Structure 1
Amino acid sequence: MESLPWQTPRYHRKNEKWRNMQNILAIGFDTRNIVCSASRAGYKVCSIDAFRDLDLQRCAYASAFLECRTSSELRQLDPRWIIAKMNTFGLDFDAIVPGSGMEMLDQGSFPCPVLASSPDAVKEASNKLHLAKKLEALGMPNPQCYSSEELDIVEYPVILKPSSGGGGIFNRVARNRQELLAAFEELARLDPGLAAEELVIQDFLEGIPSSVSLLSTKSQALTVAVNEQLIGTPWLSRLPFAYCGNVTPFRTEHAEEMEALAEELVLELGLLGSNGVDFLVTEKGPVVLEVNPRFQGSLDTIEIATGINLFEAHIGCFRGELPEKPEAKHFAARGVLYSDRELFIDRKLMDVILREKSTDIPSMGTVTEPDWPLTSLFACASTRDEAVRSLERGAERIKTFIVNRTKEERKNLNPAGEA
């Protein structure tokens, strides 16, 4: 596996009074990008997450498996279980940094600070119905939202999605009432813990998915990047709305407007540290879709494109400091490749993945379920199209190996001449 631009250099903390903060716990559904950024910044970091990817284990001082598969399971996680896991690592932790799914940790339950926005601020920002009301009050463009109790006034087409989180996997488009009711039933089967009142209905708009990544203190906000989002990219996933990665930077005439809207919004919501605002760039201009009050999937491409260490910058926000605005030096692209079948990760498949510029590398001997992320591919180039083409070629090499191996396995199971 070739080294990526940010895999070799290490970053050094300049503020003497914060050199004593050394031991960090990252916890969330997927923490690999947080853990590796923190490790590059010189921290001793432990992880609790649902994947325990090979590259996470290489960056972490120690790691533990988070046996949660749904957002409802994450919300019910007992802080005492987390503390017990922390005790097994043998470190005195200076701080906890939550990742996806753990944004609303009860900050008073732990013996060290939780470096995240307050649970109240996260709740307001994460819930799409609450956010819609906030955006209306601020006069910011956003799609019309409906609750599950407002089916009689819905104007189609619409998109049904979890009111908080989801990664696009559960998003469903409905063009009439019958399709909408069918979508409710399908999501109830996929995640029995996902109640109807935890779903939101939004007007379905056409446009380019994008995001603004920001850093914020109590009084200031700074955009660090405007990113294109890869959503439902057919050569990466067969799920039409799955998050498939990013390209940084996103060159658009609307960038300054998006930055201004995002900076105003995170300050209004009282968010701290690294946060993201998702947009859809339509023919009429940018529309605010949702807020991610945590580290985002674009962390990698931002660090590759600009050279900033986002973990160190996140820590700085909690002492009231923002870095200088970074500038993209080239285009960086991340493609999240999903498996279209159940896959056992053996040595041969691992070698194929490692030959690419890859991260989120599954551990040998594990099983990847259908429509779950298999690995992430990266590319860095002087143009956006060149970076994306490089991703596509890498994805095709891995998929071709999987298809050929599957054919070979079927042939061995059913030799010629046998019934």
Structure 2
Amino acid sequence: MEKLLLIGINTRSMLKSALKLDYDIYSTSYFSTSDTPQIKNQKIILQEKDNESCGIFEDNFKSENVLEISKDFIDEVDYIIPISGISPIEFSKSDQKKILGTRDVSNIEDKYKFYRKIKDEFKTPKTFLIRDVDEAIEISKNNPEVKYIIKPVKGSGGYDINLLNNDSYIQLNDGENYMLQEYVEGITLSSSVLASKDCKRTIMNSRLLTENDFEKNDSFIYIGNILPLTNESIMANVKNIDDINRNMIETSENLARKFNLMGSNGVDYILNEKGLYVIEINPRIQGTFECVEQSLQINMLDAHIKSSLNEEVEIPEAKYYSYKRIIYSPCRNIYSKINLDNIYDMPHIGSITEKSEPLLTVIDKNSDFKKLYSDVEKSSEIVNQISRKNRQDAK
């Protein structure tokens, strides 16, 4: 039996799909949620314990630590699927040959290189590479009619993105490269692309959600998705949803061909009255993974593997709406069991989650969009209420 390694920040959702396939499964991850399947060949960095904090993810996670504990697995397996947090670039040339998915990500993960590659072919926000905040302010002063954001050249999940304005104090991290990008206000959208050598196909468009969609706080942190994209799920007053979907499908497939994407990948957009802006490509299995599985009733990991091996994949029509919402902890709290059947990625009972750190994920499906939205929002509120009751003061 061939051996397959899943490696990334959190392998829980992929593990559940992988265990239905005919592979000997290996897994290394940073997180181990209480609902992560336990398998023989598994390594986890964060060991959650009673009355101990899980810490601050951005301070503690380092991809090199995950790779370090994976060395023997990497040598042993036939195939590797890097998930969010681990880049194909970080593997040796010989080990990159084992990767199922997009391998050449050098012009994608570097967002400024990506901008330079697409700016003459696709509608995209004007972007500048900057040395420091002073340079960003100078560019902004020369273009007073334009709003800007500062973001890392490399990064994901919407972290460390800041709106540049007169009141903001922005501290750039040493050793990281940053860029100044025109701030395009609008509706955030995403495409899921399934790509083989011979066929690049958009299989689903979705409404991408950030904290700003709920809190109106200028936070760009990723919080979830709703799919498929319809007049209801876009949650905005648009009249041409069919045209929007067609434009996204065509653009995503053109980008997939341009960057030779393989397997399951994502393309993020912003839509406003001026049109559809390409923001970035996520050259890996995306956060919509389980939503697509629920909506189409297929095994997306199987589809990713087959496409990466240039095998044909049958994609059915969507059967359900699916809604994913990540709950960030409203306070420092100790986790206790929550009796809901649509929550995932739960901490271990008794462990402490710090304020604003990811707590768990609500994921559900329904053919009725309004019922689905109501169910997920009710579950989200219940989780937040229980978390506040379990508040823990820092010692």
> TM-score by structure 1 length?
0.79
Match of 1:164 in 2: 154
The aligned counterpart of 2:115 is: 132
Deviation by residue 1:140-185 (Cα, 9 ceiling, x = unmatched): 1111111114533344311122222231132211134x63xx22x1
Contact 1:237 1:337 survives alignment (8 Å): no
After TM superposition, list the pairs within 5 Å mapping 1:210-225 onto structure 2: 210-225=189-204
1:34 and 1:309 map into 2 onto residues whose CA distance is: 10
Which of 86, 104, 116 in structure 2 is aligned with 1:102?
86
Q: Secondary structure at the match of 1:362?
A: coil
2: CA distance, partners of 1:106 / 1:271: 18
* Displacement of 1:216: 1.0
- Name 2:51's counterpart in structure 1: none
Q: Could you tell me which residue of structure 1 aligns to residue 77 of structure 2? A: 93
Deviation at 1:202, TM superposition (A): 1.2
- 2:257 aligned partner: 267
2:6 maps to which residue?
A: 26
CA–CA distance in structure 2, aligned partners of residues 277 and 85 of structure 1: 30
Structure 1 unpaired stretches of 5+ = 1-19, 411-419
Measure, in 2, the Cα distance between the counterparts of 1:364 and 1:295: 29
Structure 2 residue aligned with 1:285? 275
Q: Give the Cα–Cα distance (whole angstroms) in 1 for the partners of residues 6 and 215 of structure 2.
A: 27
- Kindly provide the amino acid, as one letter, of the partner of residue 82 in structure 1: S
Measure how far apart 1:54 and its partner are: 1.8
After superposition, the Cα gap between the structure-2 partners of 1:385 and 1:209, relative to the gap in structure 1 and judged at 3 Å, is: farther
TM-score (norm 2): 0.84
Describe how 1:17-416 pairs up with structure 2 within 5 A.
20-21=1-2, 23-58=3-38, 60-66=39-45, 69-70=57-58, 74=62, 76-77=64-65, 81-84=69-72, 92-103=76-87, 104-110=89-95, 113-118=98-103, 121-137=104-120, 139-149=121-131, 151=136, 152-154=138-140, 155=143, 156-176=146-166, 179=168, 182-183=169-170, 185=171, 187-188=172-173, 195=176, 198-232=177-211, 240-251=219-230, 252-253=241-242, 254-345=244-335, 349=336, 351-352=337-338, 354-406=339-391
Deviates more, 1:385-394 or 1:69-78: 69-78
In structure 2, the CA distance between the partners of 1:238 and 1:85, relative to structure 1 (3 Å rule), is farther
Describe the superposition over 1:268-294 as per-residue Cα deviations: whole angstroms up to 9, x where unpaired: 112211111001121122111101000
Q: 1:127 to 1:304 in 2, by over 3 A?
A: same
Indicate the residue corresponding to 1:16 in structure 2: none
Structure 2: distance between partners of 1:321 and 1:107: 26
CA deviations 1:102-138 (Å, max 9, x no partner) are 12232435498122322xx21211121111111123x
Structure having the larger proportion of residues in helix? 1
Distance 1:329 1:341, change over 3 A: same
SS in 1 for 2:106: helix
- 1:315 Cα deviation after fit: 0.9
Larger relative contact order (C-alpha < 8 A, sep ≥ 6)? Answer: 2
Per the TM alignment, residue 95 of structure 1 is displaced from its structure 2 partner at its CA by: 1.3
User: Residues 163 and 218 of structure 2 are in contact (CA less than 8 Å); yes or no, is this contact kept in structure 1?
Assistant: no
CA contact (8 A) 1:237 1:339 kept: no
**Cα deviation per residue 1:161-214 (whole Å; 9 max; x = unaligned)?**
2222231132211134x63xx22x1x43xxx55x2xx22221111111110001
Consecutive unaligned residues in structure 2, runs of 5 or more: 47-55, 231-240
**Percent of aligned positions with the same letter in both sequences?**
25
Amino acid in the other structure paired with 1:100: S
Partners in 2 of 1:318 and 1:338 — Cα distance?
33
